[in-house]
Amino acid sequence: MKKKVTFEKSIEFPTMIGEICEISLDQELKFTNESNVEGDLLLTGKYKMTEASRLEEDFSYKIPTEIALTEKVDLNTTNIEISDFYYEIENENILICHIELTIEGLELLEEDNIVLERECDGDDMVTKEIEIPVLETKEEIIEDDKKEIDSTEPINSLFSNLDDEKDRYGTFIVYMVRNDETVNSIIEKYHTTIEELEKYNDLKEINLGTKLIIPLINE
């Protein structure tokens, strides 16, 4: 996801603004959750009260800012930048700042929250799904919340290589690789081994957004 947000901020100076000599805008913004940005914009510079004046005055203003996004993003992939900024003087002592922010982040998908469990009922293989929070743990899986899904759904194709009898029972996570993650970090996170991952996945090329089948080890 890459989203541009534009808005105006008005700053009232204590004196007349004859000329802006220097100006800069920095940001101290951060995500407070998956869809909200809060913090301050820092406006600094020098100005003259009249164009003919030789005396330059410093100014510094902290502008509180809050942005609510309609999307939810992965907090590990977010980035906020000031992509455009210009200003104009109004009524001799009011500085109007026109600001554009670019907000980036990997948008959370429903697949990030799906755990699949494969069960064998006679000769028929049944696939069930459970929706859980993004920071999924084995303890958060609630048996009563399971519901059957159509076995023709595309996500079931991930299990097409599970032919061995030993693979007919167990719980698996369909995991989407995130920014800066490696096979080693995923192995450490889910307490598994590279040999176990290779049984269900092609590990030759792992990129951002790659889906992996991760078997959960029963404790």
Predicted confidence band of residue 7 (pLDDT cuts 50, 70, 90)? very high
- Contact present, 28 and 66 (Cβ < 8 Å): no
Q: In residues, how long is the chain?
A: 219
H or E stretch at 16? none
| pLDDT tens digits, 59-89 | 999 999 999 998 889 888 999 999 999 999 9
Predicted confidence band of residue 183 (pLDDT cuts 50, 70, 90)? confident
pLDDT given at position 160: 56
Q: Is the pLDDT of residue 165 over 90?
A: no
Predicted confidence band of residue 207 (pLDDT cuts 50, 70, 90)? confident
Average pLDDT, integer, range 158-174: 59
| pLDDT tens digits, 25-39 | 999 999 999 899 999
pLDDT given at position 218: 56
Other C-beta atoms lying within 10 Å of the C-beta of residue 190? 19
| pLDDT tens digits, 86-134 | 999 999 999 999 999 999 988 876 444 444 444 444 444 444 444 434 4
Within 8 A by CB and 6+ apart from 108, the residues are 34, 72, 73, 74, 134
Helix, strand, coil fractions of the chain, as percent rounded to 5: 15, 50, 35
Predicted confidence band of residue 149 (pLDDT cuts 50, 70, 90)? very low
Tell how strand 147-148 and strand 94-104 pair up: unpaired
